[in-house]
Amino acid sequence: MTVRRVYLVAGELSGDLLGAGLMRALKARHPGVEFRGIGGSRMIAEGIDSRFPLETLSVMGLVEVIRHLPGLVRVRRELRRDALSWQPDIMVGIDAPDFNLGLERQLREAGLTTAHYVSPSVWAWRQGRVKGIARSVDAMLTFLPFEAAFYRHHRVPVAFVGHPLADELPLDNDRTSARAELGLPLNGQILAMLPGSRANEIRFLGTTFLIAAERLCTARPGLRVVIPAATPERRTELEALLAERPALQDRLTLVDGQAREAMVASDAVLLASGTAALEAMLCHRAMLVAYRMAPMTHWLAKRLVKTEWISLPNLIAREALVPELIQDAATPEAIAEHLSAMLDDEAGREALEARFAGIHAGLQRDASRRAAEAIEALVAGDPLPASVAPELPAEVSP
C-alpha cells in the first residue's frame, strides 16, 4: 500500500534530524509522498510544509512551559484542525512527548492513525503514563530493546527500530587516528573526561572530576587527560576551574566539541550520565559514570525513578557493565580509585570493548528505514513486521 501523506511534528533539533532521516526513507520507498506539520531546516530541506517554526515547541523548564502554555494550546488546536483538514495516512509525533502525545490522542480519537517516534522515559518514572500512551498511539517506535520490552509487557504495539546514533557511528574505530587528530600522544594512557553539557553539571561535577584527574596524574606520570567542552560557555567555565589547578596544566588538553574523537582516543572515559554514556558505549570504550545533583533533586529522584541503573549501557545490557557513582558516592577519591583499577586492567577493558561492539551491532539496524517500514505497516493495517518488532522478553524489572 502506498503511503501518500504523512503528518510529522518535531519539537527540537534532535527531532528535526530524526524527522529528516525518516522522510528520506519514506521518499525512497514512496516517491510521491507528501509531508506536513512542524519541522526544522533539515525537514524543510526534505520537503515538509512546516506550519509553525520548529522553535515553537522548544520550551524547557516548568516556569517557561507555564508561561508559554496558552500559546502551546493554540498551536496544538491549530495543528489538530490542520491535520484533520489535510487527512494524512498517518500522524507521527517525533519526541516532544508532553506536546505530541496530547495531539496524537486528539487525532486518534478523531479517526487518524498515529505513531510516536522516540519513547519518553516512562519505563523509568511515572510508569502510569503508559495507559495514556496506549490511548494516544497505534504504535510506539523505540530506539532501544528494553523500551520495546516495556511496551510489549503493557500490551502497547511497539516497533524496536534501532538507534540512529548506532547507525551513525562505525563498528570499527581507530584509537591512533583519533589521537593524531586531537594532537594527543600516540603512546601512553589517555583518560577522556566529559563532565556534562549543562552549566549545573559543570557546577556539581567539574571540580570533583578535576580533583580526581589530579590524583590520577600524580600517581600515573604518563597519563594524559582530554576534556571536550560541549559549548563555548562550558569551555569558559572549565577554564576558570582549571585556573585553580595549575598542576594539571601540562597534563590536560581542552578541546572544543569533538567528544567522539576524545572518547575513541581514550583508554577509559569518565562522564556524567546521559547520552554521553550511550555514545561512549558506541565508541566501545570502558567508562565510569559519576553524577551529582542538587540534594532536593536527588531526594525526589530516588523516590520517583524505578530503575536499578541510571546509565544506558547498563539499562540496555540489563546488568552492571559500567560502574555508577551517584551523589555522595561520587567523591574524587572513589572516582580516582575506580579509574585506576580500570586503567590497570587491560584485559578487562578489551573484553568490555568487545561486549560493547556486540551491543552496537545489535542497535545498528538502519533506524530510519525500520521506522519507515513500521509506518507502512500501520498505514496498511498490517501487523508490525517481525524484523522491526523482534520477540523480546516480557519481563521488565526497572
Per-position pLDDT tens, the chain of length 398: 799 999 999 987 788 989 999 999 999 999 999 999 999 999 999 999 999 988 777 543 333 445 556 778 899 999 999 999 999 999 999 988 889 999 999 999 999 999 999 998 776 556 778 999 999 999 999 998 888 988 998 999 999 999 999 999 999 999 999 999 999 999 999 999 999 877 878 888 899 999 999 999 999 999 999 999 988 888 999 999 999 998 898 899 999 989 999 999 999 999 987 778 999 999 999 999 998 866 666 555 565 566 667 788 998 888 889 999 988 899 999 999 999 999 999 999 999 999 999 999 989 999 999 999 999 999 999 999 765 544 433 333 33
Q: Which amino acid is at 196?
A: G
- Domain spanning 175-362: which superfamily? Glycogen Phosphorylase B; (3.40.50.2000)
Q: What residues does 229 pair with on adjacent strands?
A: 256
For residue 322, give every residue at least 6 positions away whose Cβ sits within 8 Å of its Cβ, in sequence order, or none. Answer: 277, 281, 287, 288, 289, 311, 313, 314
Cell numbers standing for residue 298: 536527588
Rounded Cα–Cα distance for residues 377 and 359 (Å): 27
C-alpha cell belonging to residue 147: 523500551
Listed by start position, the domains of the chain span: 5-162+365-380, 175-362
Per CATH, the number for 5-162+365-380 is: 3.40.50.2000
- What number of other Cβ atoms are within 10 A of residue 327's Cβ? 16
Instruction: Compute CA distances 314 → 157, 307, 369, 382, 389, whole Å.
Output: 25, 10, 27, 34, 22
- Between CA 61 and CA 373 the distance in angstroms is 35
Q: What is the pTM of this model?
A: 0.77
Dist CA 56 CA 71 (whole Å): 9
